[in-house]
C-alpha cells in the first residue's frame, strides 16, 4: 500500500464509521465479513504506512502527521480490543479529537501534494 492508497483507506473507513454509527447497533454482526472490524484493521494498517511514508517535502508537518497517526492508531486499537463493536463506540471514535485531527492532516497533505505534483 502506498501513501495515496493509505490516505484513501483511512478516509473510506471514516465514511464507513459514520454510516455504522448511525445504524444504532448494540453490537457488531459477528458473522459479517468485511464489517466494521475489518475496516478498522485496514485503517490501522494504513496509519502505519502513513506514519512511515510521511513525505519529506512536508517538513515539520510530517512530524505532526506521524503523531496524529499514532494517536489515532491507539484509539482504533482500543476499539478493536473490545469483544464487540457497537454503534455508540464507533460514534465516540468518530468524535475523537485525534481522529478528527488526523483527517484534517490528511486532507491538507493530500491537497498540498496535488499542488506540488
**Per-residue confidence (pLDDT) for residue 117, from 0 to 100:** 58
Is the distance from CB of 58 to CB of 64 less than 8 angstroms? no
Instruction: Tell me the average pLDDT of the chain.
Output: 89
| Percentage of the residues of the chain whose pLDDT score is greater than 90 | 65
Cα three-residue angle 14-115-66, rounded to 5 degrees = 45
**Site of grid cell 468518530:** 94
Handedness of CA 59, 62, 52, 20 (dihedral sign): negative
Rounded to two decimals, the pTM is 0.87
Centre a 10 Å sphere on the Cβ of residue 93 and count the other Cβ atoms it contains: 21
Give residue 112's pLDDT: 81
Is the per-residue pLDDT at 32 higher than 60? no
pLDDT > 60? residue 50:
yes
CA distance 31 to 35: 9
Predicted confidence (pLDDT) per residue in 73-86, tens digit: 999 999 999 999 99
Quote the CA–CA distance of 23 and 49 in Å, as a whole number.
Answer: 30
Question: What percentage of the chain exceeds 70 in pLDDT?
Answer: 92
Amino acid at each position: 500500500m502506498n501513501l495515496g492508497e493509505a490516505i484513501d483507506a483511512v478516509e473510506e473507513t471514516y465514511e464507513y464509521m459514520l454510516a455504522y454509527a448511525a445504524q444504532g447497533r448494540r453490537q457488531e454482526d459477528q458473522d459479517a465479513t468485511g464489517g466494521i472490524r475489518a475496516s478498522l484493521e485496514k485503517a490501522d494498517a494504513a496509519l502505519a504506512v502513513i506514519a512511515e511514508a510521511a513525505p519529506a517535502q512536508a517538513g515539520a508537518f510530517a512530524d505532526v502527521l506521524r503523531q496524529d497517526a499514532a494517536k489515532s492508531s491507539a484509539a482504533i486499537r482500543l476499539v478493536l480490543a473490545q469483544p464487540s463493536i457497537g454503534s455508540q463506540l464507533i460514534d465516540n471514535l468518530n468524535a475523537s479529537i485525534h481522529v478528527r485531527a488526523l483527517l484534517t492532516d490528511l486532507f491538507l497533505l493530500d491537497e498540498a501534494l496535488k499542488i506540488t505534483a
